[in-house]
Structure 1
């Protein structure tokens, strides 16, 4: 299944509201626009995959260093690690998570074509 990520991102109008663009092996592939800080949270049983498509994000790791991620950078937060992505300016990210996974305070996911 071909997905035009640029077209999908053009449909994203709110920050921190992931749009599910595909699924595979029980995972959701999502794109999201971010700006500002997401709350600190963790996923007890799964890693959290981030691929920065555009812009820059800072990944704060509780009791660890802050990583600066730029377009083309991939970062995996291990299961059980408390973290917070934040972006001083708008950035675009591709996320991969187990289908239906919800983090603390995570906005509802959308599917392509759903408003």
Structure 2
């Protein structure tokens, strides 16, 4: 699990799969999934998605980048897929999140 956790931030934009993370950790996919859930509390891709959204939210807070640029930087091939994941995780679209920060700040 530690090897997979180190690999994700080392290549943030990489399109990770469970199979690839399992290879990095030198275990089977099912073993990685079970150990990951046991140690981290969620599956590897769920963890990866939440981590990427946290990075993206931080970039949105700092400002200066477009949503499309942030989406690519955190591993999403399309702004649309990123927006869906962001809203599912935070409850707000990236633009609504940015707007909320602007009004609150």
| Higher fraction of strand | 1
TM-score of the alignment, normalized to the shorter chain, above 0.5: no
TM-score normalized with structure 1 length? 0.24
* TM-score under structure 2 length normalisation: 0.25
| Structure of larger gyration radius | 2
More helix by share: 2
Query: Which structure has more RCO (C-alpha within 8 Å, separation ≥ 6)?
Result: 1
